Amino acid sequence: MAITLTPSAVARVRQYLGDTPGALGLRFGVKRSGCSGWSYVVDIANARAGNDTVFEQDGVAVLVDADSLAQVDGTEIDFVKNGLNHNFVFRNPRVEAECGCGESFTTQSA
């Protein structure tokens, strides 16, 4: 089990954490949404829940709740700059299909 961050994602998350006093790390998970079933949730983690799994890379903690872990296990999080656009990109080996707009996805266990 692992969630990994590319060097550019580590740098971007560190910026976010530096701007948020008391932040523990990055919260990463999924919620039911869209036409395909799941969408990613990314936020700053200010507290740890009892069912969180914590992955740490280069001093950055990524907290994943137990309900999301089956959907995101193995995901690589990248931060991509393309012209004026900057966004996180998720390379999730569990994704089987995505909706046409790219906002939601399905996995083997969904």
Prediction pTM value = 0.86
Q: With DSSP H G I counted as helix, E B as strand and the rest as coil, what are the percentages for the chain, rounded to 5?
A: 15, 45, 35
Report the pLDDT averaged over residues 17-38. 88
What is the C-alpha to C-alpha distance for residues 86 and 103, in angstroms, rounded to an integer?
16
Give mean pLDDT, residues 66-77: 93
Domain that holds residue 64: 4-107
SS3 of 46-65: the string is CCCCCCCEEEEECCEEEEEC
CA distance 107 to 110: 5
The CA distance from 33 to 26, in Å, is: 21
Please say whether the beta carbons of 94 and 107 come within 8 A. yes
The answer to whether residue 75 scores a pLDDT higher than 70 is yes
**Count of structural domains, the chain:** 1
pLDDT score for 37: 82
Measuring CA to CA, how many Å separate 31 from each of 10, 34, 109?
23, 10, 14
Which CATH number fits the domain that encloses residue 55?
A: 2.60.300.12
